[in-house]
A and B are shown apart, each in its own frame.
Chain A
């Protein structure tokens, strides 16, 4: 039983396209996150939602728009994809927003041609 699942696992697309990545958690957690890991392996937080409400929004281009239809789902839509968007995107969840460990999905590898 996968606790945090992301789809798709691999995404190869051309510059300028719009794409979405989906994330679901079955842990009953209130808080979900999106992270980006670039080629230099740094993991950086992008967004966080607590019970469907946005609580963290780092300096991310507004081409990236998260959406949380319910607390078990946090999707990421990216418009007008650019070469620099190539990275691994990880979804994560935690029980709440207060100092709890986070559990990660296995990542979506996005490659822009």
Chain B
């Protein structure tokens, strides 16, 4: 079983749609959680940290369920510029980030 699992997609959605990505992780001792975004042939960029209480940044909402070892990202009112690969990332401690394989999102006009 992979340490961090994501649906690879691709998710093809129209502009304005709401899309949700899910992620599960296997190590219950994982300490912190993030969503990163990676555009084609570019470096990963931090989108947001994920907290148990849930957190929101504009159109993006992230949620963590430690009991179920599950992380989610919700994007509302999708824009063309949201097209990218979204990486679920888990920190095992000591800075060791474990990346999921990424979920590809394509937003169409």
Contact = CB atoms under 8 A, between A and B. Distances in A.
A33 B85 CA distance: 21
B32 to A, nearest CB: 4
Tell which of A55, A98, A101 has the most Cβ of chain B within 10 Å.
A101
Contacts of A44: 99
Contacts of A56: 94-96
Majority DSSP secondary structure for residues of B touching A: strand
B91 A99 contact: yes
B1 interface: no
> On chain A, which size bracket covers the interface?
20 to 34
Given A41-B101, A50-B95, A99-B91, A104 B45 contact: yes
Contact of B32 (A42, A99, A104): A99
Nearest to B98: A45
A96 to B, nearest CB: 8
A45 B96 CA distance: 7
B31 interface: yes
Contacts of A98: 95
B44 A45 contact: no
B43 A107 contact: yes
B21 interface: no
Nearest to A97: B95
Interface of A: 31, 33, 40-45, 48, 50, 55-56, 90, 94, 96-107
Interface of B: 31-32, 34, 41-46, 49, 85, 87, 91, 93-99, 101-102
A-B pairs, top 9 by smallest CB distance, nearest first, are A99-B32, A104-B43, A97-B95, A43-B99, A101-B46, A106-B43, A97-B94, A104-B44, A99-B31
